[in-house]
Amino acid sequence: MKTAWGVQNVVSQGNFGLECKLPHDASILFNARNNVSWSAEKGPTFYEVFYSIPIDIPVGKNTSIGNLSGKVIDAELPGKPPIPNVILIMGGTAAVTDKSGRFVFPAIASGTHTLTIERKSVGLNRISSVKMPAEIMIEGGETSRIEIGMVKGAQLKGKFAYPLEDKSISEAKGELILTGDIRQILKKGPATGLGNILVELSLEGETVRRVSDNDGEFLFDALKPGAWHYKVYEENLPENHYLKNAEGEIALVAGDIKNVSFEVLPRRRQIQIVDEGEIKLKEATPK
């Protein structure tokens, strides 16, 4: 066995070291230390022997688990400051953001997981600019990262009602055309709302729905900014009525409050006027 001895360290305080190199990168280190103090010319001497041998153990990534690291910020304020104490839930595990707005989900099984935010922990009418719940893909042995910006949610209010016109019957070219709601015109009261009408909003794969109440009103809250596509389903409208603007786009910004109204219009129905006449019975001729 070949060995190699060498002086490792010699200093003025009397420290001395020898190292012996062994095969396979093993080594023996001998140290002698003489502690010299100000009150004594010579202090005690300490001797140390170290033996080291490298152990080659292959270490690989655990491909069955991964991590998720993220940050929650206020996307509306200058500098986008962090938001602490936000509660996030994924795979039955909860994480809370620290004072830097950061959170970590360690040792998550690889695959797709659903990430949600506890709305009460971010304040009233504040929503994520990222679609929530969010589908997060966890790669084994890797750390996935996400940044979530919080903004003020928008609101959309609306109502379905009959239009109230001055005349219930008008005449044109010998035809009578019914307009408005006859019942309300006769009562001379305000137009009534229509309940149980389904309204649908969609944006970037996210869809929300509401049904109008007995007064014909509906409310969408906590909507993220963007151009929402709306659609009104006319199945529950009164017979022979329709909506003029049953489908379209509504642009909303953060913190926006918009009111929309939908007029329920009657379809034109024609009534033919038959001239008055007299019907006479012809007497039968006796045979």
pLDDT tens for residues 70-126? 999 999 889 999 999 999 999 889 999 999 999 999 989 999 999 999 988 988 888
Question: What is the pLDDT at residue 92?
Answer: 86
Q: What's the pLDDT tens digit per position in 159-188?
A: 988 765 533 434 333 333 334 444 443 344
The helix/strand/coil state of 187 is: helix
Walk across the sheet containing 217-223 and list its strands.
217-223, 154-161, 257-266, 241-243
| Fold of domain 154-271 | Immunoglobulin-like (2.60.40)
CATH architecture of the domain formed by 65-152: Sandwich (2.60)
Domain ranges of the chain: 4-52, 65-152, 154-271
Fold match, 65-152 / 154-271:
yes
Cβ distance 138 to 64 under 8 Å?
no
What single-letter amino acid sits at 230?
Y
